Amino acid sequence: MNETIAGRVALVTGAANGIGRATALAFASSGYKVVVSDIDSQAGQATVALIEAAGGEAVFIRCDVSCDAEVRRLIEQTVATYGRLDCAFNNAGIEIEKCKLADGNEEVFDAIMGVNVKGVWLCMKYQIAVMLAQGGGSIVNTASVAGLIAAPKQSIYSASKHAVIGLTKTAAVEYARKNIRVNAVCPAVIDTEMYLRASTDDPKHVALVVAAHPIGRIGTVEEIAAAVLYLSGDSAGFTTGIALPVDGGLTAL
């Protein structure tokens, strides 16, 4: 174990599967104690079991990040369990939209903004309070390439991820002198359950998705986890306020 990591605590929201689970596992394998959080208790507990089976230490705390009281309780229980919070990966998000802007509805708007924007804001609000008290910390938020460029038939989702980048940059500047770094990762299409839900069985569609990435494939959850761990760690000590594309070259086009 890296001695600079021993005793550090990382919190991952949306950690029941996909990018969140992969990142929770990566934090644990690097020596962090991990708080696994999600609304899916069964899958969240499964993530804890995977960490423990690999020799790591983790605990599950259920949380709906769109609810102030639940987020406050999540951070309080994290500190009560491990005494501190060094790194937070605010990854919980939803993508329930597949229509042009004029065909959207208010219920979907409120749901996406509630989790993707309010959820990140609430998490940072309570995480930063702890980090200020303990003298520093690092936060990484999950944005998206949809927060950097247009996303046809996902206008609300795209707006939510643009907002995450705005929150990230503003918090980074506000707390830079307090030893708190805040960054975001912006994945392109990643091989997750979310991608499978959004994709179709049409081989032509799959081929178009792959072709959109100059690198010639979609990404893996482990590749996003690696980026999050870099931004969270001491090697990125001079890095704050960035929205890092992890996108196979998609936004370079």
Cα end-to-end distance, the chain, whole Å:
40
Domains of the chain: 9-252 (3.40.50.720)
- The single residue of 157, 175, 195, 230 carrying the catalytic annotation is 157
- Rounded CA gap, 201 and 146, in Å? 23
Residues in the chain: 253
Q: Where are the alpha helices (DSSP H) in 175-232?
A: 193-198, 203-211, 221-232
Number of helices (H), then strands (E), belonging to the chain: the values are: 9, 7
Q: Model-level pTM?
A: 0.96
- Rounded CA gap, 31 and 7, in Å? 8
Catalytic residue check, 195: no
- pLDDT tens string 223-250: 999 999 999 999 999 999 999 999 999 9
Of 53-57, 135-139, 205-209, the one with minimum mean pLDDT is: 205-209
- pLDDT tens string 107-135: 999 999 999 999 999 999 999 999 999 99
Structure tokens at 207: 């081929």
Cα–Cα nearest to 170, from 139, 197, 216, 196 = 139
